[in-house]
């Protein structure tokens, strides 16, 4: 590879943005599962979005959103995949989050236990 081609290739990779939709398209294997496949973090609102049950053929997925400071602020929605960049484009994609590849049902139990602790306190 020439130096010019190497520089061009470097800049092409730097300009390539990893959007939520493109990230989901790159996921390999079975993604229609209860395991969290993508974790997004909205720094502005301090909200995590856990994406699971990704169904590419129906253009939909499930998202469980929660605030780190208060897991009882927990909600689930069913957006279209091709609208994710519009709604969640400002979020950072976390590739090393503790809930990545964990079953959403187990995560819900964790939230319920934390909520019980808050109520008892």
> 91 vs 113, which has greater pLDDT?
91
Does residue 3 register a pLDDT over 70? yes
- What pLDDT is recorded for position 69? 73
Q: Is the pLDDT of residue 12 over 90?
A: no
- HSE toward the beta carbon, residue 50, CA cutoff 13 A: 26
Pairwise CA distance, residues 50 & 63, whole Å = 5
Question: What is each CA distance from 59 to 21, 25, 97, 121, in whole angstroms?
Answer: 10, 11, 25, 43
What are 29's two structure tokens? 């294997």
Residue 20: its pLDDT value, please?
94
Find the mean pLDDT for residues 80-99.
94
| pLDDT at 105 > cutoff 80 | yes
Residues facing residue 74 across a β-bridge: 66
- What tokens does 65 get? 């959103």
Evaluate if residue 120 carries a pLDDT over 60.
no
């Amino acid at each position: 590879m020439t130096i010019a081609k190497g520089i061009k290739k470097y800049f092409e990779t730097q300009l390539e943005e990893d959007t939520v939709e493109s990230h989901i398209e790159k996921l390999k294997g079975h993604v229609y599962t209860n395991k969290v496949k993508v974790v997004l973090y909205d720094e502005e609102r301090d909200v995590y979005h856990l994406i699971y049950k990704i169904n590419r053929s129906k253009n939909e997925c499930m998202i469980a959103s929660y605030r780190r400071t208060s897991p009882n602020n927990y909600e689930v929605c069913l957006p279209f995949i091709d609208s994710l960049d519009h709604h969640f484009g400002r979020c950072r994609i976390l590739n090393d989050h503790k809930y990545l590849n964990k079953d959403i049902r187990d995560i819900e139990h964790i939230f319920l236990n934390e909520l019980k602790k808050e109520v008892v306190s």
